[in-house]
Amino acid sequence: MKALYNQSLFSLLLLCSLLFLGSSSKLEANDKFFDYLPKYRKFNSNYQIDKIEYREKRTVIYFRFVVEEDNNVAFYSGSHPNAWYLRTPPRMRGIEVQFKLMEITDIRVNNEVKVDILKDIPEIEYEMKRGDVVTCEMHFARIPHYIRMLDLIEGADGDMDNDRFNCFDILIKTAQSPLLGKESEAQKNTQRFESTFTYLQPKTASQPLAAKEDSSKEANNTHMAEPIDYRPQAMTDLADIRCNKRVILPSISFKEDAVNFNGRVRAMQDIKTLRQYLENYPSAMIRLHGHTDIFGDEIQNLQLSRERAMAVKLELVKMGIDRDRIEILFYGGRQPLQGLEEGGIANRRVEAEAICTDQ
């Protein structure tokens, strides 16, 4: 009888403990807080984690890096093999867990908003200058309470690449941790980090994401414009490029939601024709018009159309054309071709327009 009583008492105590731990874990998992003093290791000194936000269902890593030389910098969504991901350190045997990137938000260069959400497009690329300060927010699922350390790895095979933005042994804290720090300390760390670089580019005034449509209008030769009511002809050779007249670049096409050329060798034929025109007429400029099909989210299509035009510009710059001679306009799906008002793959296009001054 006494043994039965002791067994019942033990079972009751065990049940209460499990209920307490379960409720405690649930409370901890749902706590929303910031870690303003992240602890981790990294390869190089030109990047850092500004802070980590623990939301109810997400973990958000606020990331910052300084561009060390003129180059093209790519950002990848979670579907791309080069995307960032979180993993438990390899030495932590028995708890092998990975967290896929959900999306990147608020990508800025020198405080100027470039992209508010990168999720459905596999990748975007920007032309960067030495000293550009780039910030973004990486979104992952909420980290479970039982994980205490994670690595942030850029790309599926990038864990040992010293040129990647990897962070190792990131300490995952709780809301009760005494090491969370304060927002003012995070700001001081950012100032200290940037003060080590003597070649930073000037920054614009900070832009709120609420001004989404305004942030899509770049001051640097990038604009949205009004629709047209005619169908541009296809460019077949150099003679088709005329002042202030749009031509479709027929060899440049894109798959759905894609920024990369659908057939790079063919695309380069049209780009080389544009380069030849600009070399023949050194006082002229080229205006590139980016488009998408009519389907999908309007804001995302605007972003996608901009990146398609930018892809052509980047190739021209690589060929030695001054970037200031190439203007970007973008429309999303607002200007379908005549006859394709209900949609069609030919709407995914880039058009070119020569802006002549003195020829």
List Cβ neighbours of 288 (8 Å cut-off, separation of 6 or more). 309, 312, 313, 326, 327, 328, 329, 350, 351, 352, 353
Tell me the C-alpha distance between 106 and 179, whole Å.
Answer: 27
**50 CB neighbour count, 10 Å cutoff:** 17
Please say whether the beta carbons of 141 and 91 come within 8 A: no
Q: Where are the domains of the chain?
A: 30-194, 213-355
pLDDT of residue 249: 96
pLDDT of residue 222: 54
| Residue that has been written with the tokens 């039965």 in this structure | 4
Please say whether the beta carbons of 54 and 32 come within 8 A: yes
pTM of the model as a whole: 0.58
Q: Which fold has domain 213-355?
A: 60s Ribosomal Protein L30; Chain: A; (3.30.1330)
Tell me the C-alpha distance between 287 and 352, whole Å.
Answer: 6
For the chain (length 359 residues), average pLDDT per consecutive 10?
A: 46 46 46 94 95 94 95 86 92 81 92 81 83 96 90 88 92 93 94 94 69 36 60 92 93 89 93 95 93 87 87 91 88 89 92 82
Tell me the C-alpha distance between 249 and 241, whole Å.
Answer: 11
pLDDT of residue 112: 87
Q: Which fold has domain 30-194?
A: Immunoglobulin-like (2.60.40)
